[in-house]
Structure formats: structure tokens, C-alpha cells
Amino acid sequence: MPALDIDAGSLSISNNANLKSISGFNNTHFASSISIGGNPKLVSISGFDSLRQVLAVLGGGFGIGGNDALTSLPAFGALITTPNLRIVNNPALLALDGFPSLTQVIGDFQISNNESLKTINGFSKLTSISGVERIILNSALI
């Protein structure tokens, strides 16, 4: 989907039993929400290199959860702000390195129930969380 442009819209990729990879959203700069969940065979997410902002629109947010095979999230390097950020229930997720430009979460910040998560290095510019911060139940986190 190299030409897909969803600026200011919602993107939900959910409950796809055989989906193994997501790519091709390079023309997306803004979205009202991003939800990627319930994709048990999803291994990789790429192609969101231009996504800069998830807008604080009614119910907007950024969530990745319930993706049993997902091991990393390197795809969101341009994201600067989002109303909520939830990365939950991804049992194979090993590292969070894909948010080096994120500076602001306008709402809750939650990283939980990612049993294999060992490192969180991808939030070096994050300076503001206006909601609740939860980093819990990540049993492998050192």
C-alpha cells in the first residue's frame, strides 16, 4: 500500500488470523487513531516512517496489543505526539526501540503484560505525559 494516505483518519488493523507483516503506510503523516491488535501471527510492522502525530480527537490514541508473535516495534521513528499510548499483551515483544522522536503523550502511557520485553530504549525524547504512566507486568524487563 505505498500510495495509501490516511491523514486525519483512523487506522485499525485487527483480528487477522494469518497476517504476518504490516507495511506501506509511508505517506501517512497524521491519524486520529492507530490500533493494531489481535493479529496472532504478526511478526513485523514497518512503513510508518512519516507518521508524525496521532491527533487528540475524540477517543483517539495509539495502541498495539494482542499480537502474539510481534518481537519488535522499530517503525514509528517520526512520531512526535499522541493522545494515548498503549503497548499491551504482546507476549513475544523483546524490545521497544521505535519511538525516538516521541516528545509528548497527551493522556495515558501504558506498557504492560509484554512477558518477553527486556528493554525499553525508544523514548529518549519523551518529556511530557499528561495522564497516568503504567509500566507494569513485563516480567522479563530488567
With 60 as the cut, is the pLDDT of residue 2 above it?
no
What is the per-residue pLDDT across 44-67, written as a single tens digit (0 to 9) for each? Answer: 999 899 999 998 666 679 999 999
- Looking at residue 58, what is its pLDDT? 63
pLDDT, tens digit, for every residue of 61-109? 999 999 999 999 888 999 999 999 999 999 999 999 989 999 999 999 9
- Average pLDDT for 26-40: 92
Q: Give the integer Cα–Cα distance in Å for 83 and 87.
A: 14
- How far, in Å, CA of 67 to CA of 102, rounded? 22
